Amino acid sequence: MDSRPRVPAPPAPRTASEPHTAARTASDETGPRFDEIYRHNFQSLVVQLYAFVGDMSEAQDLVQEAFSRAWPRWERIARYDDPVAWVRRVAWNAAASRWRRLRTAWLFHQRQRLDVVAGPEPDRVALTAALGALPASQRRAVVLFYLAELTVNEIAEDCGVAPGTVKSWLHRARTALAAGLADGEAGRPGGRRTPAGGSTERTVN
């Protein structure tokens, strides 16, 4: 029988990946979490896109697509100063590219639906129609300024144009909207015309 004392086995060597575990955890926690951004911003982005495309289902699809594209890149996007701006820009770009392609098919689909739902209020119909009549650039500027509450400089950066261009878009859009909504009001029984120069709560500096 071997009477020699047993020597304890040496501790298992640390693998090369172990020192990086803490660093990976810290990296994963950098910036806001995807589910937080999704939960807090999905609905507001849908409202913005709805005002642009005029269709709630399509607006939801566009925002969902933008978040789907953000998910596999979130470790990088979360480090941006404004991750929501990245998602919004992707949604707007998707709207611009899908607008012509999907609008005809979607309207046809809507006409085939048999279920009856309550129609929107007249004011919403008038506003949606007036927004739809604007050029895409002006409509986007109006939505970002009044619904997303971005500044002129932020809209300019988002659209890749000069701030002066955004101011011009907003001025022309407000003039066209005031005229279009006033015509719609005058056409109603007992309606009255609203001055085309009517003021808004937010002003362009």
pLDDT of 178 reads 87
Q: What is the mean pLDDT of the chain?
A: 76
CATH of the domain at 135: 1.10.10.10
- Top pLDDT among 121 and 163 is at 163
129 plus 173 within the same structural domain: yes
Res. 174 pLDDT band, cuts 50 70 90: very high
The rounded Cα 46 to chain-centroid distance in angstroms is 6
Nearest 5°: the CA angle 157, 54, 102 is: 90
In a domain, 132, yes or no: yes
Q: Give the span between the Cα atoms of 142 and 135, in whole angstroms.
A: 11
Res. 102 pLDDT band, cuts 50 70 90: low
State pLDDT tens for residues 33-84. Answer: 999 999 999 999 999 999 888 889 989 999 999 999 999 999 999 999 999 9
Whether the predicted pLDDT of 142 surpasses 60: yes
Which residue, of 56, 90, 117, is where some domain finishes? Answer: 117
Instruction: Find the helix packing angle between 83-112 and 152-159, rounded to 10°.
Output: 70
In a domain, 147, yes or no: yes
In a domain, 80, yes or no: yes
CB 132 within 8 A of CB 99: no
In a domain, 83, yes or no: yes
171 plus 108 within the same structural domain: no
The number of distinct structural domains making up the chain is: 2
Q: Model's pTM, two decimal places?
A: 0.60
Quote the domain boundaries for residue 126: 119-205
100 plus 139 within the same structural domain: no
Q: Give the span between the Cα atoms of 53 and 61, in whole angstroms.
A: 11
